[in-house]
Amino acid sequence: MDPRGQRAAPYAAVAIVAVLGLVLLSGVLSPATPAASASPSAVASASASTSPSASASASPTPTATATPTPPPAACAVTPETGQLPTDRVVSVEVSTSANADFVTFVFDTGSLSPAGPPQGELLAAEPPFTFASSGLPLELDGQHAIQIRMSNMSLYNDVGEPTYTGERDIVVAYPALKQVVMYDESEGYAGWYIGYDGNGCVDLVRDGTDIVVTIAH
């Protein structure tokens, strides 16, 4: 055999081993194929699913609502009765002040032969209102109403003239008082309806020979 061929065989074997070594080494050193990474939309959805929602993280603070204050209840009218100064009322006057409105019943000298002790009565009134003598409907201004009823009254003097000479329908625009209407003037009875607004209390007092209905504002 040719000695050059013998020398070439070892070199060839070494070359083959070297090539195999490079192949194996390249397999070790070559970077691994990267795994499929999550798409941006998937990342966004994942982060959205794990992070608290905006509405949860910034929940609105409950707003305190003020409880409306109910309007004050109307002052109940307390029925009152009592003896009148005389049996002859001659006029009705109205007036007002900073705190109350007034209806004043003015009395004159009584008759010589009264039918009996003249009595007055105050009580709450409810619609429908009517005139006592005819039964016709009576329109009365005001949210509330009271009734003044007088008995054993002398409606005519000794010569047959009407004793009462005042107005029979008084309309005003006071803070409380709105209207005063005479609804009865017969058979010894005299009666008035008084219409008023608001929740003020009503009182009946005597002032000398006058009777005064006070309606607080």
Flag whether 13 is in a domain: no
What's the total number of domains in the chain?
Answer: 1
Which tokens hold the place of 128? 């429908």
Flag whether 210 is in a domain: yes
Flag whether 92 is in a domain: yes
- For residues 193 and 186, is the Cβ–Cβ distance under 8 A? no
Flag whether 46 is in a domain: no
Flag whether 87 is in a domain: yes
What CATH number is attached to the domain comprising 109? Answer: 2.60.40.3500
Per-residue model confidence as pLDDT tens digits over 39-96: 444 434 444 444 444 444 455 565 656 666 655 677 999 999 999 999 999 999 999 9
The parent domain of residue 103 ranges over 80-216
Higher pLDDT, 56 or 149: 149
Which tokens hold the place of 178? 């709105």
**pLDDT at residue number 208:** 94
User: Long-range contact list for 124-127, CB < 8 A, 24+ apart?
Assistant: 124/76, 124/77, 124/79, 125/193
Flag whether 183 is in a domain: yes
User: Could you tell me the strand order of the sheet in which 202-207 lies?
Assistant: 89-96, 100-107, 210-216, 202-207
Nearest-CA neighbor of 155 among 145, 140, 166?
Answer: 166
| pTM tops 0.75 | no
Environment class of 121 (CB within 10 Å of its CB; exposed 0-12, middle 13-18, buried 19+): middle
Flag whether 17 is in a domain: no
Confidence of residue 114 (pLDDT cuts 50, 70, 90): confident
Nearest-CA neighbor of 215 among 172, 160, 186?
Answer: 172
Per-residue model confidence as pLDDT tens digits over 150-197: 999 999 988 889 999 999 999 999 999 999 999 999 999 999 999 999
Flag whether 114 is in a domain: yes
